[in-house]
């Protein structure tokens, strides 16, 4: 069962990073390479504890749907989403935000189990784990750019 852990330093407050990470519209923007969009449940704005969202995206040339529920939320430190229906056997994605002197360390922990037992394990080793790591890293980079731009525009608008 692969576990992907990715850390990103963001020069912005934890509140900004946290709110961007749970925003459905931002999620859509940061996953544009897979044409991801929310099609059911919460489809706009911030997700809250207990909310469900169904995402539709194209992975490996196949249009897929996946439904996740926010099972924990402690703003601005942590939230967790868990797959309730989709292509994986299971996954839990923990988003954590640690304030530092100059910004925030965002930590994504993606703990998943592929479907199809031994065949899924082979797929993990051959391509799936790298694919998922790349998706998480790309989204984190996009969030970083958005958060730092937002912080910079707030600084420039102060009197």
Tell which residue, 27, 11, 25, has the closest CA to residue 95. Answer: 27
pLDDT at 120: 80
pLDDT at 38 over 60: yes
Concatenated DSSP letters for 47-79?
--TT-EEEEEEEETTEEEEEEEEEEEEETTTEE
DSSP state of 33: G
Q: What is the largest CA-CA distance in the chain?
A: 61
76 prior amide bond cis, ω within 30: yes
pLDDT in tens, 53-91: 999 999 888 899 999 999 999 999 999 999 999 989 999
Q: How far apart are CA 122 and CA 78, in angstroms?
A: 32
pLDDT at 28: 93
- Domain positions in the chain are 3-154
Q: How far apart are CA 52 and CA 43, in angstroms?
A: 9
pLDDT in tens, 127-158: 999 999 999 999 999 999 999 987 666 555 55
Confidence grade of residue 108 (pLDDT, cut at 50, 70, 90): very high
Residues composing the chain: 159
Please check whether residue 143 is in contact with residue 20, taking contact to mean a CB–CB distance below 8 angstroms: yes
Q: Which helix (H) or strand (E) holds 87?
A: none
Domain 3-154, architecture per CATH: 2-Layer Sandwich (3.30)
């Amino acid at each position: 069962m692969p576990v992907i852990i990715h850390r990103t330093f963001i020069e912005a407050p934890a509140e900004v990073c946290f709110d961007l990470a749970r925003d459905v519209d931002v999620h859509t923007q940061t996953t544009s390479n897979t044409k991801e969009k929310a099609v059911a449940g919460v489809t706009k704005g911030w997700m809250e504890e207990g909310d469900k969202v169904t995402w539709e995206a194209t992975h490996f040339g196949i249009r897929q749907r996946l439904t996740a529920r926010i099972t924990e939320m402690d703003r601005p430190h942590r939230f967790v989403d868990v797959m309730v229906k989709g292509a994986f056997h299971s996954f839990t994605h923990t988003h954590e935000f640690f304030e530092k002197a100059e910004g925030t360390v965002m930590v994504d922990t993606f703990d998943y189990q592929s479907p199809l037992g031994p065949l899924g394990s082979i797929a993990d080793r051959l391509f799936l784990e790298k694919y998922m790591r790349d998706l998480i890293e790309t989204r984190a980079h996009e969030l970083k750019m958005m958060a730092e731009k937002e912080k910079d525009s707030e600084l420039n608008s102060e009197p």
